[in-house]
Structure 1
């Protein structure tokens, strides 16, 4: 799947799977195989460094303990994050960082890493491909738009992340937590 062009669902899946593996293994993971994966790793590491507490708080509030619960919660969460209609590269990276924190959290529940990465990557790739592929293409695609946006000489993303949380404002966190809790309650009741 990783050998497909950057405008394919397979590429998105490969990219997310690479990042989730990196999120679990850190410096022990294999080197990134292309410039997009390398850029995602760097941007995600930067974002997680300055927003770590917010991501951890969100994961703890959601209280997701299984792959099945995560797969039910992620589409609801992703729709809520984008409910204001705003798309940008920083927000996309923030979503992937959230998923990286989620897989590390779920790993503590003795879920096999390979299954965890596969399932979450497939869910997030499907969402990205279905809902964000057109925006990604309109904004230069992965290889041009994404990689260029996160170049060292483009300080826009640093300022963006430092000024506000692109993903996890406290109001957004409360809304997401409430939606996921209500959704989970309905699922478990039927």
Structure 2
């Protein structure tokens, strides 16, 4: 991820690119370049391992077949996921994991991998930077808050591993995909 400062938009962008490439390549992926990327990979893999089928059902319900459609649907989905004003690291990982599954889904639509990773990473990084940067800084930042939250003995990890924090996010994503799918149907028909 280079020398990007953890409080920068480019850091989030490169973090997401790393995660999406990891979501596509799995164990064939190059090693993570820092502890934040490694932590995101582990937390995302854990969530995907426990919720992959449900996440894929949500993606299929959205019926997204292009990067452009994803860029239209993701901001609506993201704003609805956070509509109650609650932020936490588990919710952020759930969102990133959902997007990783979306990237895998879109790869099956013969979209060039680099274009796909770039497009979705830019969209989600922009939202994260615009709407979550202050919360991230207030909660210890990526290197301290995020990494420490997902340490095996931390209360955050225990909660996350028991699916308490991400269950709400997953349930909300599942419910909202129906709303977004209906909204997207209307947009794409006109």
* TM-score bracket relative to the smaller structure: over 0.9
- Spell out the pairing of 1:105-116 with structure 2 (5 A cutoff): 105-116=105-116
Q: Please report the TM-score for the alignment, with normalisation by the length of structure 1.
A: 0.92
Query: Any idea what SS the aligned residue of 1:168 has?
Result: helix
Distance in 2 of aligned mates of 1:66 and 1:158: 37
1:13 matched to which residue of 2?
Answer: 13
1:54–1:114 distance in 2 versus 1, CA, 3 Å: same
CA contact (8 A) 2:35 2:143 kept: yes
1:45 matched to which residue of 2?
Answer: 45
Aligned length: 188
- Spell out the pairing of 1:1-190 with structure 2 (5 A cutoff): 2-164=2-164, 165-169=167-171, 172-174=173-175, 176-190=176-190
Give structure 1 regions of 4+ aligned residues with deviation exceeding 6 angstroms.
none
Unpaired runs of 5+ residues, structure 2, are none
Q: Please report the TM-score for the alignment, with normalisation by the length of structure 2.
A: 0.92
- Alpha-carbon deviation of 1:35? 0.7
- Alpha-carbon deviation of 1:90? 0.5
CA contact (8 A) 1:2 1:10 kept: no
Unpaired runs of 5+ residues, structure 1, are none
